[in-house]
Structure 1
Amino acid sequence: MNLSLFIARRYLLAKKSHNAINIISMISVCSVAVATTALVCVLSVFNGFRDLVISSFGNFDPELKITAVEGKVFDPATAAMRQVKAMPEVALITEVLQDNVLVRYGDRQQIAVAKGVDSTFERAVPIDSVLIDGRFVLREGETNYGVLGIGLASALGINAAFTEPMAIYAPKRDVRINPANTATSFQLDYAFISGVFCINQAEYDERYLILPIHLVRDMLRYDNGEVSALELKLAPGVDVEAVKRRIGRTLGDAFRVQDRFEQQEASFRMMQIEKWMTFLILVFILTIALFNVVSSLSMLIIEKEDDVHMLRSMGADDRLIRRIFLFEGCMIPLVGAAVGIVIGVALCLVQQYFGIIRLGSVGAFISDQYPVHVSPIDLLTIFATVFAIGALTSWYPVRTLRSGRWPSALSKAAAMGLLVLGITSCAGSGSKAGSESMVTVTIEAQRYFAEGIGGGHFAIHTIVPPGQSPETYDPTPQEMMAVARSRAYLRIGRIGFEQVWMKTIAEQNPGLRVFDLSEGIRWIDGDHHTHDHSDPHIWSTPATARLIARNTLHAFCSLDTAHTADYEAAYTRLLTEIDSTDAALHTMLDTLTHRTFIIYHPTLTYFAHEYGLTQRAIETDGKEPSAASLKALIDVARAEGVRVVFVQREFDRKHAESVASEIGARVVVIDPLSAQWKDEMLHIGRALIEGQ
């Protein structure tokens, strides 16, 4: 099995550390399943009505119909027509001549369409199946009969039992209408009523009158056997579309060959428009439902951050990791679509065989129950649509995954969502106990000061964990929940994390007290993304450490005045330790010969400034170095006799090792963010001495 697919499947089925992710994933699957079921059922009902209409028209419309492109009539005895009649695929050809007439019975009259047909009509279409009164007879001896639609019969007030003939008036083709004596402008003839048909289509039921073709020819004065159409019944099992094309090639452009769909093009087009408009509306609802996938996938990505780091350490690239979460996101709509299609097909089959849902009272409609027809093409269309939308919504949270940075917008949205759930659940379970004694700091280096002064009365929580860069880190939901339980937040000043997140943290926790430990600091310009380009790494030297300690003391005294004496005593002890560290560093560094060092990320700006050193950074403006900048750095390092290249533990060593090998220096891994502030400062000092 594909590795990314295997991991994605495990992620989907495994229990998450936050029930919210499981719940949202389940909601996503259910939402997709419901929307898919609705799509299957609705499209199948439209198909059912379409089949019902087709069957109704099929009782009257021929399989193929030939008409002239220009003019009302044509000669059916041409050579091309004889070729059509000789085709083996054509079983029957009915000659048809139709035009508008006026039908009168007693004192009632109605405009109708007189459709004259020959003797093959009864065999070409199943007209007997739609007769509701009388029988289908058009001529007996010398007597002409007519079969009319139920709507026309109702308008004239007649049925098959009437013994008086209908009067039929047809306009004379070669005579102009005389307003003074209109009767002279019409040809009058009579036909008895033999039957009444009902197709349940108003176009036919209310207008059509079927008559023998010779009667219509006499009335319309067509003496040369002209017809207005030829209606074809094909042999069983033939390909209607293929026969249609063949006839079209035989007759040429002067004739139109239409199948049943084209004969009722307007009706079927309207049904298709209604069907696919409904489909689009349901797809829109489905799209909204699939936004749950964005939420669940975003939170899963955040939860699996440690797994991602482990995979990267094992050699996985960004492409593999993206595929894992993309497959995970696609599985949710796929599972929902599969479940929805199964349920939808099952419901349609139940309706088809048992007729659970009815249209109304028996006999009021063509069908007493909702007709359904499940189309495999529709199922494929639905499945493809759900998959396509699911893939797009899955790609949205996955697209920004890359080495060294978790997508902040994704983390904010998901973390805040889980934060709300987490706070609610904590409040409900009484787990808020202990929140009165917690203080949150941004980086581990602050823990040295916070625990040194207030550790006896407050638990210290660090939001940026060890090994992560505070310039780019985005918090997990657990960390944001810990912030919500804290009494105060001690910010270090202008570090990248705080520039991005402090506003959000303050807005989400209006009761949280925030203390700025950088108050009173004299900022030094540096190569950073702060608004004024000041270097934010203020804890990296004893001089600024004293100010941080003082501000930390003020924060704890403000939070807990009852233990002010304890905090002041701890502060005094901490200052003594900072002073001793400063003295040791001066002893090591004041007589240093090679006073320039290289560092990957410029975190020792204040350290270098205090001890008269020069810091050269490999990274520029938060970006990896180019080949040209590396060459320039190497040239400067050789000129200045650099002996040490520092690299922080959270960064890749590749560039540091490359530079060191070029200049003959050694690489030293440091951790300026460490909570062991004193030990780390002395470690940096010793590394500089040992490099001489």
Structure 2
Amino acid sequence: MFKPLPFYIGLRYTRAKRRSHFISFISLTSMLGVSLGVAALITVLSVMNGFEKELRTRILGMVSHVIVTGPDGTLGNWQALKAQLEKDSRLVGIAPFVEGQGMLTHRSQVRGTLVRGILPQQEDQVADIRSKMVVGSLDVLHPGSFQIVLGMDLARALGVFVGDKITLVTPHATTTPAGVIPRLKRLTVAGVFQVGMYEYDSALAVMNLEDAALLFRIPGKISGLRLKLDNLFKAPYVARELRETLPGSYRTADWTYQHANFFRALKTEKTVMFVILFLIVAVAAFNIVSTLVMVVTDKQADIAILRTLGATPASIMGIFMVQGTAIGFIGTLLGMIGGIALAFNVETVVPQIEALFGVQFLPADVYYISDLPSELSWHDVITVCSTAFLLCVLVTLYPAWRAARTQPAEALRYE
């Protein structure tokens, strides 16, 4: 089988010989370094993707994909708008809501809260509060019952349980002959939910839509409609299109806008982690430079003989580029296989390590996410492997260029 001369000789140089064990050892460590770097990058990025997916799922369990509201923050005759939106095939769920700020008091405890009025059956179409209930049920939130469901941390801070009475203070004051007094309402705790996000567990309270509308003085109206899409990543486009096409004046907002800073921070953290871990690959790749420099020094006589036999400087350069590229390719391939295998089995391997050493990396009483989720992205795999391999190829240029400049007469003078 025909093999180009640089390719054939370069592959032969990658095999160990008796007098070059040290060089072979350096080559092996360089290959293992590239493998470990690539595997670590793929695994860490997969774990970060898993955390991002878990956080996004928990956040979007409480926040709708798109919100439609009026210019003054309320919607009247919302049933007609809801019927019109239901014709859009991209929407898989629509639910009305009333939202406002307030304070909850119980005995000496006072906590600020975001009160959300919902229709339990319709809310199931856009959120999964029902599945997050720890005690109680959303079905008891009937009109006129003035019952309320609290987040776990909020209930704990107020020191209340199901059946306890709490007082809601709304910002809509009432003017009386005695002066301006705050608007108060006695409510009954009907349940407790736990989403796993401190932002919601410590500050969100849910009650019936009509009761909330009365308390916030918008009877017959709502704050807006919450929409759930078949593809959450189309939310910015759908929000903009609805704002432009719906008859009348409406305001829209999507989940990427509401939590832009949070997801931007996650993306920045992932980028920084990629750069930091890629330094492992860079160190291993630069070990290839030292390997090839030693090989070039060791093969001075061979290079000189090849030059006298008619080999061109480009051919000599190609020999050592093939050797360095082979080290990089094998290291990247092994790292890719190891990284993919580890990324798919993180949730199995980590508990075994915890059991073996008697430690717990993410205690459930400290962290909301006590497991290491993993979400392998083939885009990340391709990016990591192609970047690592390209770096390994680039670092071969200098040693190969030095080999091409070898003068046969100087190299054979003392042979």
8 A Cα contact 1:248 1:255, kept in partner: no
Mapping of 1:533-682 within 5 angstroms? Answer: none
1:30 aligns with 2:25: no
Mapping of 1:431-446 within 5 angstroms? Answer: none
8 A Cα contact 1:81 1:251, kept in partner: no
Residues 276-309 of structure 1 deviation map (CA, whole Å, 9 limit, x = unaligned)? 2122112123322322111111122233334434
Q: Residue 328 of structure 1: CA displacement?
A: 1.6
1:289 aligns with 2:284: yes
1:341 aligns with 2:336: yes
Question: Aligned-pair RMSD on alpha carbons?
Answer: 3.3
* 1:331 aligned partner: 326
Q: Residue 76 of structure 1: CA displacement?
A: 6.9
Greater shift, 345-354 or 325-334, is seen at 345-354
1:110 aligns with 2:111: yes
Q: What secondary structure does 2:40 align onto?
A: helix
Query: What is the identity, as a one-letter code, of the residue corresponding to 1:279?
Result: F
Classify 1:309/1:247 alpha carbon distance in 2 versus 1 (closer, same or farther; 3 Å).
same
8 A Cα contact 2:106 2:167, kept in partner: yes
* 2:242 aligned partner: 250
Classify 1:306/1:80 alpha carbon distance in 2 versus 1 (closer, same or farther; 3 Å).
farther
Residues 518-544 of structure 1 deviation map (CA, whole Å, 9 limit, x = unaligned)? xxxxxxxxxxxxxxxxxxxxxxxxxxx
Structure-2 separation of matches of 1:182 and 1:70 = 28
Q: What secondary structure does 1:13 align onto?
A: coil
* 1:383 aligned partner: 385
Structure-2 separation of matches of 1:56 and 1:269 = 17
* 2:189 aligned partner: 193
1:273 aligns with 2:248: no
Structure 1 unmatched ranges of 5 or more: 407-466, 480-692
Classify 1:5/1:83 alpha carbon distance in 2 versus 1 (closer, same or farther; 3 Å).
farther
TM-score by length of 1: 0.52
Classify 1:231/1:18 alpha carbon distance in 2 versus 1 (closer, same or farther; 3 Å).
same
Structure-2 separation of matches of 1:252 and 1:316 = 69
* 1:511 aligned partner: none
Structure-2 separation of matches of 1:181 and 1:151 = 35
Q: Residue 371 of structure 1: CA displacement?
A: 2.5
8 A Cα contact 2:31 2:284, kept in partner: no
Mapping of 1:156-305 within 5 angstroms? Answer: 156-162=158-164, 164=165, 166-172=166-172, 181-183=179-181, 186-223=182-219, 225-227=221-223, 229-234=224-229, 238-242=230-234, 245-252=237-244, 255-259=251-255, 261-305=256-300
Q: Residue 317 of structure 1: CA displacement?
A: 2.8
1:20 aligns with 2:22: yes
Structure-1 separation of matches of 2:152 and 2:51 = 22
8 A Cα contact 2:195 2:201, kept in partner: yes
Structure 2 unmatched ranges of 5 or more: 355-359
Structure-2 separation of matches of 1:475 and 1:279 = 49
Q: Residue 160 of structure 1: CA displacement?
A: 1.3
Q: Residue 68 of structure 1: CA displacement?
A: 5.5
* 1:468 aligned partner: 409
Query: What is the identity, as a one-letter code, of the residue corresponding to 2:212?
Result: V
Structure-2 separation of matches of 1:80 and 1:124 = 17
TM-score by length of 2: 0.84
Q: What secondary structure does 2:138 align onto?
A: coil
* 1:631 aligned partner: none
8 A Cα contact 2:95 2:125, kept in partner: no
* 2:91 aligned partner: 90
8 A Cα contact 2:210 2:219, kept in partner: no
Residues 62-83 of structure 1 deviation map (CA, whole Å, 9 limit, x = unaligned)? 3x12255965445574987754
Q: Residue 205 of structure 1: CA displacement?
A: 0.6
Q: What secondary structure does 1:124 align onto?
A: coil
Q: Residue 93 of structure 1: CA displacement?
A: 0.8
Q: Which has the higher contact order (CA 8 A, sep 6+)?
A: 2
Structure-1 separation of matches of 2:283 and 2:345 = 29
* 1:352 aligned partner: 347
Classify 1:78/1:392 alpha carbon distance in 2 versus 1 (closer, same or farther; 3 Å).
farther
Classify 1:2/1:199 alpha carbon distance in 2 versus 1 (closer, same or farther; 3 Å).
farther
Residues 455-510 of structure 1 deviation map (CA, whole Å, 9 limit, x = unaligned)? xxxxxxxxxxxx614xxx6999xx9xxxxxxxxxxxxxxxxxxxxxxxxxxxxxxx
Classify 1:232/1:392 alpha carbon distance in 2 versus 1 (closer, same or farther; 3 Å).
same
8 A Cα contact 1:80 1:250, kept in partner: no
8 A Cα contact 1:101 1:111, kept in partner: yes
Query: What is the identity, as a one-letter code, of the residue corresponding to 1:148?
Result: L
Q: Residue 209 of structure 1: CA displacement?
A: 0.6
Structure-1 separation of matches of 2:76 and 2:156 = 36
Query: What is the identity, as a one-letter code, of the residue corresponding to 1:341?
Result: M
Q: What secondary structure does 2:124 align onto?
A: helix
8 A Cα contact 2:33 2:280, kept in partner: no
Q: Residue 246 of structure 1: CA displacement?
A: 4.0
Q: What secondary structure does 1:115 align onto?
A: strand
1:397 aligns with 2:396: no
Q: What secondary structure does 2:385 align onto?
A: helix
Q: What secondary structure does 1:319 align onto?
A: helix
Mapping of 1:35-74 within 5 angstroms? Answer: 35-62=37-64, 64-67=65-68, 72-74=73-75
Q: Residue 232 of structure 1: CA displacement?
A: 1.6
8 A Cα contact 2:15 2:24, kept in partner: no
8 A Cα contact 2:296 2:403, kept in partner: no
Classify 1:140/1:256 alpha carbon distance in 2 versus 1 (closer, same or farther; 3 Å).
closer
Larger Rg, first or second structure (1 or 2) = 1
How many residue pairs end up in the alignment? Answer: 401
Structure-1 separation of matches of 2:69 and 2:11 = 63
* 2:357 aligned partner: none
Q: Residue 377 of structure 1: CA displacement?
A: 2.0
8 A Cα contact 2:169 2:183, kept in partner: yes
8 A Cα contact 1:168 1:190, kept in partner: yes
Classify 1:216/1:337 alpha carbon distance in 2 versus 1 (closer, same or farther; 3 Å).
same
8 A Cα contact 1:84 1:250, kept in partner: no
Structure-2 separation of matches of 1:296 and 1:285 = 17
8 A Cα contact 1:137 1:147, kept in partner: no
Structure-1 separation of matches of 2:315 and 2:176 = 85
8 A Cα contact 2:239 2:252, kept in partner: no
Classify 1:77/1:474 alpha carbon distance in 2 versus 1 (closer, same or farther; 3 Å).
farther
Query: What is the identity, as a one-letter code, of the residue corresponding to 1:381?
Result: T
Residues 48-104 of structure 1 deviation map (CA, whole Å, 9 limit, x = unaligned)? 222322332243233x12255965445574987754332123232111221210112
Q: What secondary structure does 2:14 align onto?
A: helix
Q: Residue 144 of structure 1: CA displacement?
A: 2.0
Q: What secondary structure does 1:468 align onto?
A: helix
Query: What is the identity, as a one-letter code, of the residue corresponding to 2:387?
Result: T
